[in-house]
Amino acid sequence: MIATFNATVKASVKATTKATGKAIGNAVTLALLCCLLLACSGGESNVATGNREGILHLGNGTDPQELDPHIVTGIPEHNILTALLEGLVAKDPATLEPIPAVAERWDVSEDGKNYRFHLRHNARWSNGDPLTANDFAWSWWRALQPALGNQYAYMLFAIKGAEAYYKGELTDFDQVGVKIIDDYTLDVTLTNPTPYFLQLLDHYSYYPVHRATIEKFGAPDERGSQWTRPGNFVGNGPYNLSEWRLFKRVVVSKNPYYWDADTVSINAIHFHPTENVTTEERMFRSGQLHRTGSIPIDKVATYRKNHPELLYTQAYLGNYFYRFNTKVPQLSDKRVRQALAMTIDRDAIVKQVTKGDELPAYTFTPPDTLGYTAPDAFRYDPEKARELMAEAGYPGGEGFPVTELLYNTSEGHRKIAVAIQQMWNKELGIKIVLNNQDWKVYLNSVDTGDYAIARAGWIGDYVDPNTFLDMWLTDGGNNRTGWSNPRYDELIIKLAPEASDREERYRLMREAEALLLKDMPVIPIYIYTSKSLVHPSLKGLKPNLLNYTLYKQLSLDASVPAEVMH
């Protein structure tokens, strides 16, 4: 998911973009601080009002890039889209097992390749239109249009013929394994048995979109049309999009046409973009948020000691890493990339910088992902790293160009980047300059290859090692490193899916992961934990590896005092 978040900009434009991003960030921080001052001036807090009126206030990290489920890749977008749209299945937050959503039930063939979904007859779009099997088939057709630039198109490749259609090897979508039996019955045929297929259906890349609305505002494969704006957006989830004020908030309100509307307790959700995590924590303390998206790393110990009831932490199926642009000359040599990986003291980072029980990462896939664990691919070894740099032609860092490390604006990302910058300078004698950009500019820089080294994070879209490994396929939408390995592609695309059992499948995946980390187009740094602050009036959260939330299971208890910190 994570998504990460996935025409080269000329130097002068780049400098302007940096300045603009900084100005916008300052403006956002000022606006949020003004909100805090107003809250402290005697007015009722968001939490107090929200508890009484059924309005949930959430910190969302940043403003969403877009709200088109077939374009976006990030967690801020995911948080909102799961309120606005719903797939054939959902997940039980307590177990992460698939549960009925738009499909009330399904049948699976003995060979595991054919699924028949029986849709609810009372499923509706938010404008009252019936929701049918054709809506899913058309939406998946749209998601596979190359011109749309869907970086998650590969998520649909489990479906027979989907990859060939996306690549233009098939021109007739009728040859793809998606068949409409009638308005409320949909058949899906897979190329191979896919143990996690039902989990895929709960990812936004598989969400349905309202055809008439999209075509009203442009072509199906047009990016950035007005269909995702308030007043235009038509969804099928528990909430409607009612407001999107740039850098201020996104508001969704209860959808009366949702098939399970009677179970939806919260009337509206306000998503607050808060790139400055320190400001977000202050908003929580002043009663402006029910839940934060994160917490300043230097505040974790304080909350553990003084307010453990407000700190919500859990294991998280995610990897914090750095991505290399392997087309940058000094980074095109894997020995350089290996050396950079081997001079990051991960123990120091998790103990002295992040301080949130994160685990040092020496593999890309988190350990024990549904029983899969890869052996450590490298170790902290500055002496060996210096040897590799010398072999690559940079003894003691001599001749190595000044190289930029890009990260999206966040105090936590900055602290990690500064620590690694110092480690690389101390151990390898190289100079790294840091560049932070706001979320949308950062995403564009990475997408267009306008970076050398870039901070990244990947949260599993489903509980299976494949969600961490299939993103590095050649020309994969979330790859964006320029790295390609034919054997890796064969292992992930062909051999692992055809494996006779899980043990053989995992063996092949371990071989693929070893290839990935030998070539090192990415540097794993640590395995995430999820950390946020939660007001005790918010009920219904269930801890799980994906930090997965079903909004319709949440409620607000108006009897809980709004003020919890003194």
Tell me which long-range contacts 248-253 makes (C-beta under 8 A, separation of at least 24).
248/31, 248/272, 248/273, 249/273, 250/60, 250/63, 250/64, 250/80, 252/80, 252/83, 252/84
> 192-234 pLDDT, tens per residue?
999 999 999 999 999 999 999 999 999 999 999 999 999 999 9
Please give the share of the chain, as a percent, with pLDDT higher than 90: 86
**Chain centre distance of CA 251:** 20
Say what the pLDDT of residue 1 is.
Answer: 54
Residue 247, both tokens:
């850098």
Look at the alpha carbons of 519, 525, 530, 533 in this order and tell me if their dihedral is positive or negative: negative
Say what the pLDDT of residue 39 is.
Answer: 42
Say what the pLDDT of residue 298 is.
Answer: 85
Say what the pLDDT of residue 405 is.
Answer: 98
Cβ pair 83, 237 in contact under 8 A: yes
Of 59, 123, 64, 62, residue with least CA distance to 88: 123
pLDDT confidence band for 297 (50 / 70 / 90): confident
pLDDT confidence band for 7 (50 / 70 / 90): very low
**Chain centre distance of CA 200:** 14
Higher pLDDT, 1 or 409: 409
Say what the pLDDT of residue 566 is.
Answer: 59
Highest mean predicted confidence (pLDDT) among 1-10, 37-46, 144-153: 144-153
Please give the CATH number for the structural domain made up of 86-226: 3.90.76.10
Fold of 17-69+228-312+532-556: D-Maltodextrin-Binding Protein; domain 2 (3.40.190)
Assess whether pLDDT exceeds 60 at residue 2.
no
Three-state DSSP at 552 gives helix
Alpha helices in 497-549 (DSSP H): 502-519
Break the chain into its structural domains and give their ranges: 17-69+228-312+532-556, 86-226, 314-529
- The helix (H) or strand (E) run that includes residue 422 is helix 411-428
pLDDT confidence band for 86 (50 / 70 / 90): very high
- Distance, in Å, from the CA atom of 34 to the CA atom of 45, rounded to the nearest integer, reads 13
Q: Do domains 86-226 and 314-529 have the same CATH topology?
A: no
> 357-415 pLDDT, tens per residue?
899 999 999 999 999 999 999 999 999 999 999 999 999 999 999 999 999 998 899 99
Cβ pair 388, 382 in contact under 8 A: no
- Distance, in Å, from the CA atom of 373 to the CA atom of 509, rounded to the nearest integer, reads 10
Assess whether pLDDT exceeds 50 at residue 17.
no
Count each helix (H run) and each strand (E run) in the chain, helices first.
17, 18
pLDDT confidence band for 30 (50 / 70 / 90): very low
Residue 461, both tokens:
């879209």
- Distance, in Å, from the CA atom of 137 to the CA atom of 119, rounded to the nearest integer, reads 13
CA distances from 342 to 20, 273, 276, 336, 362 (A): 35, 36, 31, 10, 10
Say what the pLDDT of residue 488 is.
Answer: 98
Mean pLDDT of the chain: 92
Assess whether pLDDT exceeds 70 at residue 33.
no
- Angle of the 334-342 helix axis to the 382-391 helix axis, nearest 10: 160
- Distance, in Å, from the CA atom of 385 to the CA atom of 345, rounded to the nearest integer, reads 12
Average pLDDT over residues 19-31: 44
Stated length of the chain: 566
Average pLDDT over residues 14-27: 40
Say what the pLDDT of residue 374 is.
Answer: 96
Residue 198, both tokens:
């039902």
Average pLDDT over residues 132-153: 97
Given the DSSP bridges, would you call strands 55-59 and 268-272 parallel, antiparallel or unpaired? parallel
> 415-427 pLDDT, tens per residue?
999 999 999 999 9
Please give the share of the chain, as a percent, with pLDDT higher than 70: 92
- Distance, in Å, from the CA atom of 520 to the CA atom of 515, rounded to the nearest integer, reads 8
Fold of 314-529: Dipeptide-binding Protein; domain 3 (3.10.105)
Say what the pLDDT of residue 46 is.
Answer: 97
Angle 458-292-43 from CA coordinates, rounded to 5°: 155
Say what the pLDDT of residue 42 is.
Answer: 52
Phi-psi region of 477 (alpha: psi -120 to 50; beta: other; left: phi over 0): alpha
> 481-524 pLDDT, tens per residue?
999 999 999 999 999 999 989 999 999 999 999 999 999 999 99
CA distances from 307 to 97, 199, 358, 442, 529 (A): 32, 35, 20, 35, 19
What's 292-343 look like in SS3? CCCCCHHHHHHHHHHCHHHEEEEEEEEEEEEEECCCCHHHCCHHHHHHHHHC
- Distance, in Å, from the CA atom of 225 to the CA atom of 223, rounded to the nearest integer, reads 6
